[in-house]
Structure 1
Amino acid sequence: MKYIDMHCDTVMTIPEKGSSDLLIDNKEVSVDFKRLKESNAMAQFFAIFLMKKFMKLFSKKKLRNDDEYIEHCVKLINEATEKTDYVKLAYNYDDLIKNNNENKISAFLTIEDGRSADSLEKIKKYHDMGIRLITLTWNYENCMGYPNSNPKMRDKGLKEFGRSAVEYMNEIGMIIDVSHLSDGGFYDVYNTSKKPFVASHSNSRELSPHTRNLTDDMIRKVAEKGGAIGLNFCPQFLDKNIKNKDSKIELMVNHLNHIKKTGGEDVLALGSDFDGISGKLEISGCEKMPMLFEALRKDGWTEDMIEKLAYKNMLRVIKDTL
């Protein structure tokens, strides 16, 4: 089964002096190019996560400014794809289809936390660099809006620039990602965006009350816009107990069934959050992705439904947005 995964943090794991070879073959992480090939991946979205200063110090990262770090990460991915003949960067639907027809995996570049995209000129610069998705916020307030992690900010909407950014991203062809965004910001994106948007790595708040997840109304709103919701494999976003440390396939199936029942089968997608999550992961790496599809077959899902989750829905979103 081909699949498209909307979110992994693997680039963040490369040591400061590490080689781009670690994106190709590295069994210490959850995603590498070789295992993407083994698992029959169609496309992987690679997030460039903008760390806070304390996180850089903890992980012994150089204290670059955001633009320098983004350029560093883009260079790593470019170098890695140039070293292989089976992974190639993609920037739109036509690239993805061409790569797939040539038995190549598509790598899409994203930024997690729009804090550095503080002007339309900067957004255009990132687009020119190959970035095709921006997660508008992370866990802190930024130039776009507010996070869903802070109860005092959860109902706040997009800032004025955030609305302008959404409109501009529609215009130039970038995917708007509402994972991490405040509830108020979510509805502002829904009301502002003329194109489909995504929650790249979020689950159902009804089944797991973590604020990173989506309410049933949000699920329906994403579906109404023709967008997609990427199933997150993080234990805390799967269980009723948000302190749970076990990521189980059974819980994933429950979330997918609930999202399908609530928003329909056309909103389903994958957003593993590999290399950005921890705990006891039943699907601990991309090579184990087929285990989820097999569990869905046992649960009574048709092949067409599984294909929609795995790649067809995201193909549509990419075509409609990029």
Structure 2
Amino acid sequence: MGYIDLHCDTLMQAFLAGQKNAVRLEKAMADLERLETGGCAAQFFAIFMPPMAYRARYGDAIPDDETYIRLLRGILQNTVEARPDRLAPAAGAADLERCRREGKIAAFLTLEDGRPVDGKLENLARFREMGVRLISLTWNEPNCLGWPNSRDAETMARGLTPFGRDAVEEMQRLGMLVDVSHLSDGGFWEVARLAKRPFLASHSNCRALCPHPRNLTDEMLRTLGEKGGVAGLNFGPQFLNADPEDRRSTAAAIARHARHMADKGGIDCVALGTDFDGITGEFEIGGPQDMALLADALHKAGFSEDQIGQIFFDNAARVIREGMN
């Protein structure tokens, strides 16, 4: 069964390892070979923008933002050039369908943290021209677009900046997906109010099952479903387990979140956003090669074959079709 994964941080892992492509990465959770083994139909590859703490940790290995974006985009391009028969760049639904016909994995480029937009709407068009088709509005720090998720109630209540509101409307006009994973609760509700096309939480779970502020409340799930969006199931234990000390990520736990999402937001809002290479813990599903374990767990949780197909592929494909140009 082919699947669409809405988020991984594999490009960053390749960059930090000094690799020029992501065909085979020994110390990463995902690479092209494992994506192919696991039956991946489309992978959203994030350019994760390193915070200042990363610069302190890695020093000169982390260049300025523009250089960093160019280098990670280059890693994806190099991977396509190394295996053009297995991977192809994708910018919308037509490319996804073409890749399906040709037996290739569709590679979508995304930006995690909108800080490089730098308060300039023209940068959105520039990033789109570079191939970016999804932007996570924030990471865990405020930026020109808005405020992030937080355990501080005042920060969590803050929403988008005035520029952020303009940027959301411009992204939707350009056909770039608006991603609310990492965004504050206030920001989520502003995006929901502004959105004319589907938006998504590319790698977020259910707050009712795990109280991490990155996860979505039941009301958010209902609204996301009503707006035609999706939430990508995150495989990180810190987003799965109520006990923050529990470092285990199991297929059964992921399936529990899928069931809750479907119950609150509808089956149409459930998708996959593994967060491979951006999470740590003890994993039953340690990479794309293990994805069949999730299909089995979803079946045990009462999902039909058609519903599993929706979670694995159809729901995300619909958002690509309706929200991306």
If the TM-score is normalised by the length of the shorter chain, which range does it land in? over 0.9
* C-alpha separation in 2, matches of 1:64 and 1:32: 23
Higher mean C-alpha deviation, range 233-242 or range 211-220: 233-242
Query: Aligned partner of 2:150: which letter?
Result: S
Quickly say closer, same or farther: Cα 1:63–1:250, change in 2 above 3 A: closer
Provide the aligned length of Structure 1 versus Structure 2. 321
Query: Aligned partner of 1:134: which letter?
Result: I
- Counterparts of residues 22-171 of structure 1 (less than 5 Å): 23-60=22-59, 62-84=61-83, 85-118=85-118, 119-151=120-152, 152-171=154-173
**Cα shift at 1:186:** 0.3
Deviations 1:1-42 (A, max 9, x none): 110000000111124572323x10123211111111111110
The answer (yes or no) to whether the contact 1:201–1:229 under 8 Å persists in 2 is yes
Q: Report the TM-score, using the length of structure 2 for normalisation.
A: 0.96
Query: Aligned partner of 1:78: which letter?
Result: Q
Structure 1 counterpart SS, 2:255: helix
The equivalent residue for 1:19 is 19
* C-alpha separation in 2, matches of 1:205 and 1:306: 22
**Cα shift at 1:121:** 0.8
Quickly say closer, same or farther: Cα 1:244–1:88, change in 2 above 3 A: same
* C-alpha separation in 2, matches of 1:252 and 1:203: 9
The answer (yes or no) to whether the contact 1:15–1:61 under 8 Å persists in 2 is no
The equivalent residue for 2:229 is 227
The answer (yes or no) to whether the contact 1:16–1:61 under 8 Å persists in 2 is no
**Cα shift at 1:297:** 1.6
The equivalent residue for 2:178 is 176
**Cα shift at 1:60:** 5.0
The answer (yes or no) to whether the contact 2:20–2:78 under 8 Å persists in 1 is yes
**Cα shift at 1:63:** 3.8
Structure 2 counterpart SS, 1:229: strand
Identity across the alignment (%): 44
The answer (yes or no) to whether the contact 1:209–1:242 under 8 Å persists in 2 is no
The answer (yes or no) to whether the contact 1:46–1:107 under 8 Å persists in 2 is yes
* C-alpha separation in 2, matches of 1:319 and 1:11: 25
The equivalent residue for 2:302 is 300
* C-alpha separation in 1, matches of 2:67 and 2:191: 29
Deviations 1:240-294 (A, max 9, x none): 1133211111111111101100011000000000000001011111110111001
* C-alpha separation in 2, matches of 1:273 and 1:182: 19
- Structure 2 unaligned segments of length 5 or more: list them: none
Q: Check if 1:216 corresponds to 2:218.
A: yes
Structure 1 counterpart SS, 2:61: coil
* C-alpha separation in 2, matches of 1:32 and 1:20: 12
**Cα shift at 1:299:** 2.6
Q: Check if 1:269 corresponds to 2:271.
A: yes
Higher mean C-alpha deviation, range 99-108 or range 11-20: 11-20
The answer (yes or no) to whether the contact 2:14–2:25 under 8 Å persists in 1 is no
Query: Aligned partner of 1:56: which letter?
Result: R
The answer (yes or no) to whether the contact 2:15–2:75 under 8 Å persists in 1 is no
The answer (yes or no) to whether the contact 1:113–1:136 under 8 Å persists in 2 is yes
Quickly say closer, same or farther: Cα 1:25–1:254, change in 2 above 3 A: same
* C-alpha separation in 2, matches of 1:16 and 1:212: 25
Q: RMSD of the TM alignment (CA)?
A: 1.2
* C-alpha separation in 1, matches of 2:24 and 2:123: 33
The answer (yes or no) to whether the contact 2:256–2:301 under 8 Å persists in 1 is no
- Structure 1 unaligned segments of length 5 or more: list them: none
**Cα shift at 1:61:** 5.2
Higher mean C-alpha deviation, range 72-81 or range 10-19: 10-19
Query: Aligned partner of 2:171: which letter?
Result: M
**Cα shift at 1:193:** 1.2
The equivalent residue for 2:284 is 282
**Cα shift at 1:185:** 0.4
**Cα shift at 1:161:** 0.6
Query: Aligned partner of 1:146: which letter?
Result: W
Query: Aligned partner of 2:61: which letter?
Result: K
Structure 1 counterpart SS, 2:204: coil
Deviations 1:97-147 (A, max 9, x none): 001100000010000000111211111110000000000001001000001
